[in-house]
Structures are given as structure tokens and as C-alpha cells.
């Protein structure tokens, strides 16, 4: 139902060179939703309804990138389980991934619900969402 490769991983697995190409590869194979992780640039999401680029959160200081992908996945999956759209889920994933890189270790930056809501409220996105 859901595939979440990073850009480099998706390129290796699919032979496609772009996030859109990677997403289309999986959609054509019957996957319902695809989220291509773009690191600090955010994420590219796609489903049969369309696609969107979800910008990443700006981070002043990166302390440790270990755990950022896991944090991103936690954000996406938890948001989808709560009934959020794929774009909203990727935004939450971006927020958690951005927060995690500001702490040492793989889980020190994982927020509780109050911390997540506060971070999203205060956090700034580098640019908006484009849904086509």
C-alpha cells in the first residue's frame, strides 16, 4: 500500500532518475501511495489522486542525521493512521525528521504529541505545497 524510498534508494531500485519517475514506477506496479524522501528538501508524494512536493522544515543546526529517516517514517505512518491526507502525513514526517537531526542519537529528538504540535506551529517551511 505504501512505499517510502529515499531518492538514491529509489533510483537504485527502479532505474528512474527523478522522484516523479520513482513514484510512477511504483504506482504502475499497483502501490497505492508513494513517498520519496528528499532529505532536507522534503518529500515527493504520489497516489492515483495526483502528486505533490512537500517542502522540508528549515533547520539551523544539524547535530546528527542518524534516525531522521525513521522519524520521518513515524510521522508519515502515524498521520495516515489518524486519517490525514498523504500530503499532511509527509508534512508531519518532514517535521519529525527535521526535529530529530537537531539532537544526538537516533531517538533523542523524537517528540511527544505536545512537542510535535509546538514544533509544527513554530517551525517554518522553506516553501509551500504544490499539488497537481
pLDDT digits (tens, 9 = 90+) for 58-105: 888 999 999 999 999 999 999 999 999 999 999 999 999 999 999 998
Whether the per-residue pLDDT at 124 is higher than 60: the answer is no
Q: How many domains does the chain have?
A: 1
64 is catalytic: no
Q: Domain span at residue 8?
A: 2-131
What is the torsional sign of CA 120, 122, 127, 132? Answer: positive
pTM comes to: 0.86
Q: What is the pLDDT of residue 117?
A: 82
Q: What is the CATH number of the domain that holds 117?
A: 3.40.1190.20
Strands lying side by side in the sheet with 33-37: 2-3, 33-37, 43-47, 50-54, 130-131
Cell of 44: 515527493
Q: What's the Rg (C-alpha) of the chain?
A: 14
Q: 64, 70, 106, 108: which one is catalytic?
A: 70
Q: How far apart are CA 12 and CA 29, in angstroms?
A: 16
Amino acid at each position: 500500500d505504501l512505499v517510502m524510498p529515499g531518492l538514491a534508494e529509489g533510483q537504485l531500485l527502479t532505474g528512474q532518475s527523478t522522484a516523479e519517475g520513482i513514484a510512477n514506477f511504483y504506482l504502475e506496479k499497483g502501490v497505492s501511495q508513494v513517498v520519496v524522501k528528499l532529505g532536507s528538501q522534503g518529500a515527493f508524494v504520489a497516489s492515483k489522486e495526483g502528486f505533490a512536493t512537500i517542502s522540508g522544515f528549515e533547520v539551523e543546526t544539524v547535530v546528527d542525521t542518524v534516525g531522521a529517516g525513521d522519524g520521518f517514517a513515524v510521522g508519515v505512518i502515524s498521520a495516515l493512521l489518524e486519517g490525514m491526507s498523504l500530503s499532511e502525513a509527509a508534512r508531519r514526517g518532514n517535521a519529525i525528521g527535521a526535529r530529530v537531526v537537531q539532537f544526538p542519537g537516533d531517538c533523542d529528538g523524537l517528540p511527544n504529541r505536545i512537542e510535535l504540535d509546538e514544533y509544527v506551529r513554530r517551525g517554518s517551511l522553506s516553501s509551500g505545497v504544490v499539488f497537481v
